[in-house]
Amino acid sequence: MNIPFLDLKAPYHELKDELDAVYYRVMESGWYILGSEVEAFEVEFAQYCRTKHCVGVGNGLDALHLILRALDIGPGDEVLVPSNTFIATWLAVSRTGAKAVPVEPDVATFNIDASQIKKNITGRTRVIMPVHLYGQCCAMDEILDLAGKHNLTVVEDAAQAHGAEYKGVKAGGIGRAAGFSFYPGKNLGAMGDAGAVVTNDDAIARKIRLLRNFGSEKKYYNEMQGVNSRLDPLQAAFLRVKLRSALDRWNKRRVSIAEHYAARLSGIKNLVIPFVPAWAKPVWHLYVIRLARRDALQQVLSDAGVGTLIHYPVPPHLSGAFSGLGWKRGDYPVAEALADTVLSLPIGPHLDPADADRIADIILQFFADSRNNISLEA
Ligand SMILES: *Cc1c(COP(=O)(O)O)cnc(C)c1O
């Protein structure tokens, strides 16, 4: 048996004719920076997210970072971030000179715990940056409510949530602005690095258009110190194909695999499967389970030829990247407990449902052994 965690070639093969055709179209155009492919993708992705603007940038980290720069976040400011996230969320903040202030997640949803936000708000807090982790939206009403009361801006990290919905509103259209990543493994993935900002705010959109392109709207007239982080037109062309022909369909396949896992794995004592609040419509970027003997199960699955990953093994506060800030084990116990017990099962859109069944069989067998069936707290 050989079930990879994620098959990145299968999406290419499924869409090969269309992707190859746009490759030749871009090659023949002679236009390789910004231009009509990027503009068309921006219109189409804004439409998809039901936002007024989309600005294509080089990657997801830059998308988040440039939103903060557009909001004039910098030294002396504080940005609330989840303690359990991919490190890019924190790096987007630290690169501005502002301080990333961690907020613990809700263990049930893995997402930032809205009830923990208030005690972390200080006179320097400017932004709350919730992450729709694993493809499921955060409890946004509570977050928007707190932001309104304390005059804070909400910036969504939607890098894992293309197409996810919160009470019928698409991820990306809930806060003031949102950053998306089109890293190849994301639900909408390019054939390389790519990212975008979506927003309904005209001023933020304009500023990000300038910032991504050396701070200039008119060539060689630089209004501010920008960066070079433009969405590549070839990647934009690939993304247009996948957005039009595949994203919703592939998200549906992820949903059906998640339902299948849930049907097979619910009811196992001491195995925690994802919790979906009634208002959430997740797109299952990842399917994350929790168990005490995580490493042992990962080994058993690996021995059986099944690829799994851990998202994420080291919480940002314990990573080398932030070691200068004096954080230690025990500072964010919920994030730490998740790092020690989470396991991501294969859930790519090209996973054969029969393979999901085989994976469930292995997990059931694993838990049938009483040495493995132990409580998470133990
Ligand atoms: C992937 C990801 C990013 C960064 O995106 P890149 O395109 O890899 O820079 C940021 N935040 C989260 C939550 C992500 O999963």
- Ligand 1 atom closest to residue 285's alpha carbon, by position in its atom list: 15
| Rg (alpha carbons) of the chain, rounded to whole number | 21
pLDDT at 377: 79
Residue 264 CA to ligand 1 center (angstroms) comes to 30
- Ligand 1 atom at minimum distance from 193 CA: 7
Atom number in ligand 1 closest to CA 85: 13
Strands 216-218, 221-222: pairing is antiparallel
**Among 114, 155, 161, 105, CA closest to 134:** 161
Dist. CA 37 → ligand 1 center (Å): 23
Torsion-angle region of 254 (φ positive above 0: left; ψ -120 to 50: alpha; else: beta): alpha
Q: Which residue has the tokens 């236009």?
A: 31
Amino acid at 158: A
> Per-residue pLDDT for the chain (378 aa), expressed as one digit of tens each?
799 999 999 999 999 999 999 999 999 999 999 999 999 999 999 999 999 999 999 999 999 999 999 999 999 999 999 999 999 999 999 999 999 999 999 999 999 999 999 999 999 999 999 999 999 999 999 999 999 999 999 999 999 999 999 999 999 999 999 999 999 999 999 999 999 999 999 999 999 999 999 999 999 999 999 999 999 999 999 999 999 999 999 999 999 999 999 999 999 999 999 999 999 999 999 999 999 999 999 999 999 999 999 999 999 999 999 999 999 999 999 999 999 999 999 999 999 999 999 999 999 999 999 999 999 975
Distance 327 CA to ligand 1 centre (A): 23
Question: Of ligand 1's atoms, which has the minimum distance to the CA of residue 195?
Answer: 7
Mutate to test the pocket of ligand 1, among 86, 138, 288, 344 (most ligand atoms within 8 A of CB): 86
Letter string b/e over residues 243-260, b meaning 16 or more CB atoms within 10 A of that residue's CB: beebbeebbebbbebbeb
Q: Label residue 267 left, alpha or beta by phi (over 0 means left) and psi (-120 to 50 means alpha).
A: left
CA of 181 to the centre of ligand 1 (A): 5
Residue nearest atom 7 in ligand 1 by C-alpha distance: 60
* CA of 56 relative to ligand 1 center, distance in Å: 14
- pTM > 0.85: yes
What spacing in Å lies between the alpha carbon of 16 and ligand 1's midpoint?
A: 26
Compute the distance from residue 271 Cα to the ligand 1 centre, in Å: 28
Say what the pLDDT of residue 1 is: 77
* Residue with CA nearest ligand 1 atom 12: 159
Burial of 151 (0-12, 13-18, 19+ CB in 10 A): exposed
- For atom 2 of ligand 1, the residue with the nearest CA is 159
Residue 195 C-alpha from the chain's centroid:
11
* Atom 6 in ligand 1: residue holding the nearest Cα: 60
Provide the residue type at 263 as one letter: A
Adjacency order of strands within the sheet including 153-157: 53-57, 195-199, 177-181, 153-157, 125-128, 78-82, 99-103
Q: Which residues are CB-neighbours of 50 under 8 A, at least 6 positions away?
A: 169, 170, 173
Dihedral sign from CA coordinates of 45, 49, 53, 59: negative
**Residue ranges around ligand 1 (CB below 6 Å):** 59-61, 85-86, 88-89, 131, 157, 159-160, 181, 183, 193, 195
Distance 58 CA to ligand 1 centre (A): 11
User: Which amino acid belongs to residue 49?
Assistant: C
How far apart, in whole angstroms, are the C-alpha atoms of residue 130 and residue 124?
18
**Calculated CA dihedral for residues 216, 227, 316, 130, nearest 10 degrees:** 10
Question: What is the Å distance from ligand 1's center to 211 Cα?
Answer: 19
pLDDT for position 126: 98
Measured CA to CA in angstroms, residue 350 lies from 7, 184, 287 at distances of 7, 14, 14
